[in-house]
Structure 1
């Protein structure tokens, strides 16, 4: 069994993009730069 597969079904098709935009907007309000150069610990501190 592949543990990495996502079995969640999208109920609202545009929800994923909206959540991503909201995540980056909130991070910018807190002055946190999300991205590959930041650690998970730093990203999770928000």
Structure 2
């Protein structure tokens, strides 16, 4: 993943966290340290 893609994902996840503060703690950890994994998990959940 390029740095530009990473920055876009990070900003998107920040927005998601602001809009949906009830996300599970595990997903929040993934969002902060491994956004690619968090995206995979979110897509797998539908």
Higher helix share: 2
| Global fold match (TM > 0.5) | no
Kindly name which structure, 1 or 2, has the bigger radius of gyration based on alpha carbons.
1
Q: Normalization by structure 1: what TM-score? A: 0.42
